[in-house]
């Protein structure tokens, strides 16, 4: 049996070209490097936009690295035992985000050892996948928001997503209405409240905004409010999308069994890596709901090329100026290209996501992955 010989990690900050908020000017990347007993190497990462990156790094450095040594280097065989080992510190959140650093590196090593990309190793089912334009833009003026939407139109996106949740519903109505007018009737429009509403406000807001032909409302309530989402789904006609802040296949199952979501959006890093992401995709398929992976198109896009077909076309989120390649964070060329609203894969081995050693003056490191 091929086992894990070592796991090392390095924390660094990646500056954002367009800040997501006044206090979110960079994202934390914990680059990981695994060596197997047969000498094969793999590179992965964990990720946290602003909060918790140091805690993720500490968990990788102090707990996961030690517990992983000697375990099976086959990702699916390793993951469950490691999750059970970490469960005392929490079933999801920091623990699954950290565990993704190991899981992604193991998938990378497995594919690299065969001279394949990860999508080929899993089994690529399509050569391209549609993308949508996205941005963290609630703090933008209306003029800046419309300028961003125009850039997405010019780039060939057939669907876009904007943030909502202004203190005054009327301002949300004005902004969404202006975006719909600019998009015209044929492009898709999604809105994302980022957990800003309670049930009453969500009901009123969606009723006021639904006339703009919305493809979905994302995270209208607190992410873990199962009962609230279930009731909201009963009240409104716009599909509810959520999942970027759910961390296990078990929790996704809870929401789907309750009818609380019609679209799921697992974040591959937050759920613990590729291994649990594939299981969540199975859960979504069992319930007949669409899956659109959250963020990280260089990673999400590769997995989207490998998932089975569903009733709804899969969409990959491309946040403006936030891709690792565009931010200059990668040591190698980006493993994917987004052009004319489609994502395609470039030739590479493994995940093709090795991070440059130093990205900013406030980067910190313990091991050189």
What is residue 117's DSSP assignment?
B
**Smallest Cα–Cα separation from 307: which of 274, 262, 261?**
274
**CA dist list (Å): 334 to 16, 301, 329, 337, 352:** 17, 12, 10, 7, 7
Pull the structure tokens for residue 34. 């695994």
Residue 363 clears pLDDT 70, i.e. is over it: no
In the predicted structure, residue 10 carries a pLDDT above the cut 80: yes
CA–CA dist 344, 339 (Å, integer): 8
Residue 130 contacts residue 315 (beta carbons within 8 Å): yes
pLDDT digits (tens, 9 = 90+) for 91-103: 999 999 999 999 9
Query: Per-residue pLDDT for 44 more than 80?
Result: yes
Q: Choosing from 33, 163, 292, 348, which is the catalytic residue?
A: 163
Q: What is the pLDDT of residue 24?
A: 87
pLDDT tens, residue by residue, 61-118: 999 999 999 999 999 999 999 999 999 999 999 999 999 999 999 999 999 999 999 9
Query: Alpha-carbon distance 268 to 299, whole Å?
Result: 8
Q: Which helix (H) or strand (E) holds 46?
A: strand 41-48
3-state secondary structure of 127: coil
Q: What is the mean pLDDT of residues 170-179?
A: 98
pLDDT digits (tens, 9 = 90+) for 227-275: 999 999 999 999 999 999 999 999 999 999 999 999 999 999 999 999 9
Q: Distance (Å, rounded) from C-alpha 179 to C-alpha 4?
A: 50
How would you classify the pairing of strands 342-345 and 336-339? antiparallel
Active-site option among 247, 292, 294, 348: 294
Check residues 50 and 207 and name the one with the higher pLDDT: 207
Catalytic residue check, 294: yes
Q: How far is 106 from 6, CA to CA, in rounded Å?
A: 11
How do beta strands 263-264 and 290-291 pair? parallel
- What pLDDT score was predicted for residue 309? 83
Write the DSSP string, 171-222: HHHHHHHHHHHHH-SSSEEEEE-TT---HHHHHHHHHHHGGG--SEEE--S-
Residue 299 has pLDDT above 60, yes or no: yes
Active-site residue, 163 included: yes
């Amino acid at each position: 049996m091929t086992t894990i010989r070592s796991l090392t990690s390095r924390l660094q900050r990646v500056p954002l070209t367009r800040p997501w908020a006044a206090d979110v000017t960079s994202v934390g990347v914990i680059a990981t490097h695994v060596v197997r007993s047969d000498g094969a190497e793999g590179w992965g990462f964990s990720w946290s936009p602003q909060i918790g990156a140091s805690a993720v790094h500490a968990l990788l450095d102090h707990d996961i690295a030690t517990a992983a040594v000697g375990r099976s280097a086959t990702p699916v065989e390793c993951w469950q035992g490691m999750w059970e080992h970490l469960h005392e510190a929490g079933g999801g959140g920091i623990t699954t985000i950290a565990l993704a650093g190991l899981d992604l590196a193991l998938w990378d090593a497995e594919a690299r050892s065969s001279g394949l990309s990860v999508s080929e190793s899993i089994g690529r089912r399509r050569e391209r996948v549609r993308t949508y334009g996205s941005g963290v833009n609630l703090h933008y003026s209306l003029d800046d928001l419309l300028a961003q939407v125009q850039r997405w139109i010019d780039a060939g996106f057939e669907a876009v997503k904007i943030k909502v949740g202004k203190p005054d519903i009327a301002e949300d109505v004005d902004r969404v209405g202006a975006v719909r007018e600019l998009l015209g009737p044929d492009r898709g429009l999604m809105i994302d409240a980022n957990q800003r509403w309670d049930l009453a406000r969500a009901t009123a807001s969606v009723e006021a905004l639904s006339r703009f032909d919305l493809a979905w409302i994302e995270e209208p309530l607190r992410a873990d409010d199962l009962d609230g989402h279930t009731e909201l789904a009963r009240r409104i006609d716009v599909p509810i999308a959520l999942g970027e802040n759910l961390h296990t296949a078990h929790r996704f199952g809870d929401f789907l069994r309750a009818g609380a979501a019609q679209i799921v959006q697992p974040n591959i890093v937050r759920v613990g890596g590729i291994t649990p992401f594939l299981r969540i995709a199975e859960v979504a398929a069992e319930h007949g709901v669409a899956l659109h992976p959250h963020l990280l198109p260089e990673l999400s896009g590769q997995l989207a090329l490998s998932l089975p077909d569903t009733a709804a076309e899969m969409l990959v989120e491309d946040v403006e100026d936030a891709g690792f390649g565009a931010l200059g964070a990668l040591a190698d060329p980006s493993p994917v290209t987004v052009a004319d609203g489609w994502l395609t894969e470039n030739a590479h081995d493994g995940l093709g996501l090795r991070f440059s050693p130093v990205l900013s003056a406030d980067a910190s490191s313990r091991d050189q992955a």
